[in-house]
Each structure stands twice: as C-alpha cells, then as structure tokens.
Amino acid sequence: MNYLLSKTIFTIILIFFPAILFAQGKTEVLIDGAKFFHPIVEKWVSEYKKENPDIKIELKTVQNKIASQTDLQIRSGQLSGEADANNKIVYVGRYALIPLANVNNPLLEKAGKGLKKKDITNLLFEKDILAEDYDADEKEKYTATVYSRGDKTPVTAVLAGYFDQSPDRIRGKKIIGDEIYLLNAIQKDETGITFNTLNYAFDLKSRQLKANLSILPLNVKSGQKEVLDSHDIDKLIALLEESKIETIPVENFGLLVPKKYSNNNEILDFLEWVLSDGQKYNREYGFLSLDDNVRAQSKKQLALNSYKPE
C-alpha cells in the first residue's frame, strides 16, 4: 500500500470512528453516583441486558462526572427537594448504614447494654461542649475517633440528617476517598468508629463481616442482638427489612430521571424491570429491597410520567 493511501485511510478511520459506533444504534446512557452503588447498578444492567439483548441503549456507570455530563444520577436520602418539573425520582432500593468499630476498640466492652440513638448522637457530634467537659464519666464512656468523609458527600449528609444534625458537625477525622477507605481507617486505628454501607462492611462472598471489624454494640431487643452478633449479612438485611432499628439508618436510593428521558421507553423499561425483577439482586449485593409502598409509588411515577415534585 502506498504511503498516501495508507495515510488517508488512517485519517478517515480516525474521523469516523465515533460515527461507526453510533451507527450500531446504541446510545450511551451514563449513570453516576456514589461508588458503592455501582456494583448493584452494574448487576442490574448486565442482567437486564441478558434478558433484553435487543436493548438499544448502552447503560454505563461512570465516576466523578459533573452532573451535566451524566444522564441518570443515583441519589439517596431525602430526594423530594430535587424532584421538580425537570427531574423525576424513581426509587430503586434501600441501603443501611451500620455503625462499625475496630475489633479492638475499648468502646465495645464499655458499651454495656449497647448504645442508644442518643449515645450515638453524642458520639458523632460535638453536641454540648459543656457536657463533654464537666461530665467526666460520660466523656470517658464515649472516647472514640469518628471517621467520616467530607460533609458534602451523600453518606455523611444522610447520616447527619438521620441524627437531626448538620453534616459539618460530625466530629473526628475526615478522610478523602471512597467510603470503602473508612474501613481502612478504622482497621488501622483501634479507637476508630465509622458508619458504612453493608456492601462495603461485609464480604459479599463469605457473607460475613470483613476482618478486624465489629458492629458497635447497640441497645436492641435480644433477638435483634443475636442477628447483629452473628455478623451475617443476610440475617441482618432480613432484620432491617422487617423492623426498624433506631441506631441503624436505612435510606432509599433512586435514580434521578431528567425530563428529556420522559419518553425514552428504553430507560423507562429498564427502570420498570429494576423495580420488579431487579429487586431480587439487592440482597445479594448488600442492599435492602424497596418497601412495598415506595415501590408502588415509584411504579406509579414511571407510569404517570409526571415531573412534579412528589
């Protein structure tokens, strides 16, 4: 092949490469959100693709994109504020934040009957400085280093909101990086405690709590205590699905669907699938199924095609 020809062909290929992809008929739909949601979302996508090989969109999870560069965003917590004329919320699952400590944390022994919501609040937040100083016994009881991410990250915000505090009031040490590194931090620091998601805290293969970690002793009923002590993710998920434990925040998460996709049946079908068949993968990936009411509501949302706030 002569030189000129090869150069021309190469240039043509370079120019038309994106168009070639486009010609295949697969529109990329980028999904972003906190990293710990990615495994479940990817599972849904792959299973959905298996069941629907003809799907015309390419669902992909991406990271650290600014909102305008993504199509669907995974959100958690109180979402009603974000649902408006341009965005619709479709809840797809629930996740729990479990209080964890280093397995050698002296707090595990001191906690006696276990911590109540009030105790956890004292532990996490610089609530009353006076009480900290003057009530020496109290102070002693709750000595621990709290690890958390920045106050704008979703888990931190959800956690603080659950305890009626603002995220910037969480005391202790901050880390920069994904929630999974919070586990590294408390594995290193014997006084460390943190809240984390079940899919991170547990080894999803062995279904047991990861090494060197322990769940903080909580003041719960004896049956519930057994489940917590078992360190078994499936029992724990079952427990959290059927009853509320005040010291373990459980939160919905969902996808924020912009108006431009309101008529995109490919996306709507996918979400419909997640709300029905997809739910069976939640537990395996460390998430809770949606509450029946919420699921019904989400389905209604999809059907109504309404973009008004809930």
Partner 1 sequence: MTNLFYFFGNHKRFPVIFLTLFGLLIFSSPVFAQQNTTIRGKVIDERTDEVIIGANISLKSEKGNQGISSDTNGNFELKVSSLPATIVVSYLGYRPQEIDIYERTEERINIPLFEDFNLLNEVVIVSDGYYAQERKQYTGASTVINGATNANKPVSSPLISLQGAVSGLNISIPSSQPGASPDVLLRGLGSLALSSSPLFVIDGMITTSAALTALNQDDIEDITVLKDAAATAIYGSRGSNGIIIITTKKGKAGKTQVNFDIEVGSTNIVPFPDAGQPLNAQQYSELFIEGLRNAGTYSEQDIADLSESYGFNSGRSNNWQDLVYKTGKQQQYNVSVRSGNENTKLFVSAGYFTQEATTLKSDLRKISGLINLEQKIGKRFTLTAGLNIANLFQHTPDSGTGSWGNPIFAARILRPFQLAYNEDGTYNTNSSSNLGYVAHYNVLFIAENDIRSQDQTRGRGNISLKWNIWDRLNYTTYASLDYNNSESFQFLNPVLGGGLNTQGSGSQTYSRTSNWLTRNQLDYRYNFLGNEDSSYITAIVGYEAQQSGTLSLSGSGTGFPLTQPSLIVLSNAATITGASSSRSGYSFSSVYSRIGTNYKDKYSLSGSYRRDGSSVFGANNRYGSFWSVGGAWNIDEEEFFDKQKILSSARFHTSYGTTGNAQGISNYAAMPLSSYGSNYTNGNGQNYGTIGNPDLTWEKQKKFDIGADFGFFNNRLIITPDFYVNNIDGLIQSVSLSRTTGFSSVPYANSGAMQNRGLELTFRADILRSKKFSWASNFNISFNKNEVTELGKASGANGSYYLDKGYDYYTYYTRLYAGVNPDNGTALWYTDGTKSETTTDYNAAERVPYKSASPKYFGGFTNTFEYKGISLSGDIYFNFGNYIIDSWSTRFYDGAYYTFNKYQREYWNRWTTPGQITDVPKYIAAGGTQANSNSFSSRFLYDGSFIRLKNVTIGYDLIKLRSIKHLIPGVRKLRLYGRATNLFTKTFDEKLPFDPESGNVSIPIYRIYTVGLSVEL
Binding-site ranges for partner 1 (CB under 8 A): 1, 3, 6-7, 10, 64, 126, 128-130, 133-134, 136, 147, 150-152, 168-169, 171, 173-178, 181, 184-185
Residue 19 or 130 with smaller CB distance to partner 1: 130
Instruction: Write down the least CB distance from residue 152 to partner 1, Å.
Output: 7
CB closer to partner 1 out of 136 and 211? 136
Q: Which is nearer to partner 1, 178 or 266 (CB)?
A: 178
Q: Smallest Cα–Cα separation from 205: which of 39, 49, 74?
A: 39
Residues 6+ apart with CB under 8 A from 249: 96, 97, 158, 159, 162, 195
Q: Which lies closer to partner 1 via its Cβ, residue 24 or residue 68?
A: 68
* Angle at alpha carbon of residue 201, lines to 198 and 206, rounded to 5°: 95
Based on CB atoms, which residue is closest to partner 1, 173 or 207? Answer: 173
CB–CB of 204/286 below 8 Å?
yes
Least CB distance from residue 168 to partner 1, whole Å? 6
Reported as type and span, the H/E element at residue 40 is helix 38-51
Q: Is the alpha carbon torsion for 19, 21, 26, 32 positive or negative? A: negative
C-alpha 171, offset from chain centre: 22
Q: Nearest distance from residue 185's CB to partner 1, in Å? A: 6
Q: How far apart are the first and last CA of the chain?
A: 64
233: helix, strand or coil:
helix
The DSSP result for 257-289, as a single string, is EEGGGTT-HHHHHHHHHHHTGGGGGTGGGT-BP
Q: Which one, 194 or 298, has the nearer CB to partner 1?
A: 194
Q: Which residues, 6 or more positions from 129, have their beta carbon under 8 angstroms from its beta carbon?
A: none
The CA distance from 85 to 233, in Å, is 39
Q: How far is the CB of 81 from partner 1 (least distance, A)?
A: 20
Q: How far is the CB of 266 from partner 1 (least distance, A)?
A: 29
Q: How many residues does the chain have?
A: 310
Cβ 175 to partner 1 shortest distance, Å: 4
Query: Looking at beta carbons only, is 89 or 183 nearer to partner 1?
Result: 183
Name which of 33 and 278 has its Cβ closer to partner 1: 33
Q: How far is the CB of 62 from partner 1 (least distance, A)?
A: 12
- CB of 74: closest distance to partner 1 in angstroms? 17
Q: Give the pairing type, strands 27-32 and 192-197.
A: unpaired
